[in-house]
Structure 1
Amino acid sequence: MNARFALVILASTLVAGTASADQLADIKAKGVLTCGTLGTSEPFSFPDPQTREITGYDVDFCKAVAKSLGVKLELKPIAVAARIPELQQGRVDVVIANLGWSPERAEQIAFSNQYFASQQKVAALKASGFTAVKDLAGKRVSATKGSSSELAVRKALPTATTVTFQDPPSGFLAMQQGKVDGFVLSELALVKFKQQSEATSPVVILEPSLMLEPWGVGMRKGETALIKHVNSLLESMEKSGEAVQVYDKWMGMGTPYKMPRGFKIEPIKG
């Protein structure tokens, strides 16, 4: 009898453990999705000048995931270098924060299908005379700490000295002040910085692109139900045209960026 009772207790414990490991069910039970995003990267996630609320392309995808689950959205601003640790330690449920896929990152967390594809490019002051990426060999180049931009510099310009900063504005300011010779970031974000600095310190964006980087929603490994749900949502947004509408809202021809959408939501080809 005691042995049977022990088996019942063990089985109950295993069932409870399985249930607690189902993050999708946990999110629905608590009624809140905590989405980690940067909050400092226009047009992806940044403070609205009027409301001061965090808004942008990434935020709209956070909203879409929460809506699809029927729960409230809690946005949690996180630093670039903290994206994976915050996710692994359970402080956020998902990360939608300019998170580019790489083999190294894919060993640590799960990625959804790509919801954006980013060209990583280098900017330099027009007065510097630099005309191509190769001109920065042996120079000082800034990037955001822990970002794909940092990895791109180290791979594409191995002789350059990579100087890292906590956020994109700090890295760009270092270039404006002459502390570094170039600055690497997503092309769309660079376009915005370029426009803002045109009157004071004109900037050029150098070719070629350092890399084309697919971005995905970051989730913890093993959460198959959540991963499947997010991918299904992204696929439905692509089919319905909602994904295109979100892109056009923030980066299309009616925005200062005026950039055509050169990608579609699809599995990341790693």
Structure 2
Amino acid sequence: MTTITRRTALGLAATAGAFLALGSAAHADQLADIKKAGKIRVAVAMGVPLFAFVDGQLKPTGSDVETAKLIAKDLGVQLELIEITNAARVPTIQTRKADILVANLGITAERKKAVDFSVPYATLNIIVAGPDNVEIKDYKDLTGKRIAVTRATVNDQMVTQNSKGAEIVRFEDDATLITAVVSGQVDIVSTQTAVLSAMNEKRSGAKLATKFVQQELNLGIALPQGETELKSWLDGWIKKKVADGELNTVFKKFHNRDLPADLTQRG
């Protein structure tokens, strides 16, 4: 490489570095960008019973949707709901197609490598359910059985890791999973309690019963990594809304239970 070429290469590298720095700076304070735009884009996973679904007037509702509305209200900005599937939750935040994600996303070590989380704002129980006449006490009892899960969820990960002998049937979202169970395609499922309730409401045959609880998940609001101001605002907002009971009121309205007293100390 000649001296001129080397200098040119160094100059190009410096220019590229400057552009990267500018790109990082452009996303250095998403909270300020949200306030300046007067709008917050909140991703929600629609079709999840109790958390995000369409009501009788064909309007989005559920505890996650109402939480998103509260966030926008207290920020003093308009709300843009971005409706996605469960599988798209983490990628949506990684690619910044939404500012934040309020979509019953469990806080896990693996997900923390890809996105940042607020302190927990809600919880859910992951369960294995099946017919009364099928004995299932733990993962080993799933050997040789067909079990349905929603793709790219903690349910999927846990069944895959712990039930090597099971035949795992994956569906793209909870709505499709519910349809499969209601229609009798599958009758053993790893899901959450809210989804199980929706299945049993629509199922004409024998209801499915919880066989065992796999895990209680703490749910966090996901946001792009490095957005310290936005995370700080969200953490403070959740703590305040839990303390004054407003988040509990929203959650209890749909889930008919209270949030844990130590919720914001978890995660």
TM-score by length of 2: 0.85
**Corresponding letter in the other structure for 1:266:** T
**Corresponding letter in the other structure for 1:239:** A
Aligned with residue 134 of structure 2, among 116, 129, 136: 129
- The reply on whether 1:42 has 2:44 as its aligned counterpart is no
- The reply on whether 1:28 has 2:56 as its aligned counterpart is no
After superposition, where does 1:105-254 map in structure 2 within 5 Å? 105-126=111-132, 129-134=134-139, 135-197=141-203, 200-252=204-256
- Give the Å deviation of 1:122: 1.6
**Corresponding letter in the other structure for 2:49:** E
Corresponding pairs, count: 249
- Give the Å deviation of 1:213: 1.1
Any gaps of 5 or more consecutive residues in structure 1? 1-10, 253-258
Q: Distance in 2 between matches of 1:184 and 1:72?
A: 36
CA offsets per residue over residues 69-112 of structure 1, 9 Å max, x none? 11000111101111111111111010111111111101100011
Secondary structure in 2 matching 1:179: coil
Answer whether contact 1:141 1:161 (CA < 8 A) is retained.
yes
- Give the Å deviation of 1:152: 2.2
Any gaps of 5 or more consecutive residues in structure 2? 1-17
Secondary structure in 2 matching 1:248: helix
- Give the Å deviation of 1:227: 0.2
Q: 1:171 to 1:17 in 2, by over 3 A?
A: closer
- The reply on whether 1:266 has 2:261 as its aligned counterpart is no
- Give the Å deviation of 1:260: 4.7
Q: Distance in 2 between matches of 1:263 and 1:100?
A: 18
Aligned to 2:7: none
- Give the Å deviation of 1:19: 5.5
Q: Distance in 1 between matches of 2:260 and 2:129?
A: 21
- The percent identity for this pair of structures is 28
Q: Distance in 2 between matches of 1:16 and 1:111?
A: 22
Aligned to 1:79: 85
Answer whether contact 2:148 2:188 (CA < 8 A) is retained.
yes
Q: 1:195 to 1:24 in 2, by over 3 A?
A: same
**Corresponding letter in the other structure for 2:252:** D
**Corresponding letter in the other structure for 1:98:** N
Answer whether contact 1:238 1:244 (CA < 8 A) is retained.
yes
CA offsets per residue over residues 54-77 of structure 1, 9 Å max, x none? 111001111121112110001111
TM-score by length of 1: 0.84
**Corresponding letter in the other structure for 1:216:** G
Answer whether contact 1:130 1:136 (CA < 8 A) is retained.
no
Answer whether contact 2:43 2:81 (CA < 8 A) is retained.
yes
Q: 1:232 to 1:260 in 2, by over 3 A?
A: closer
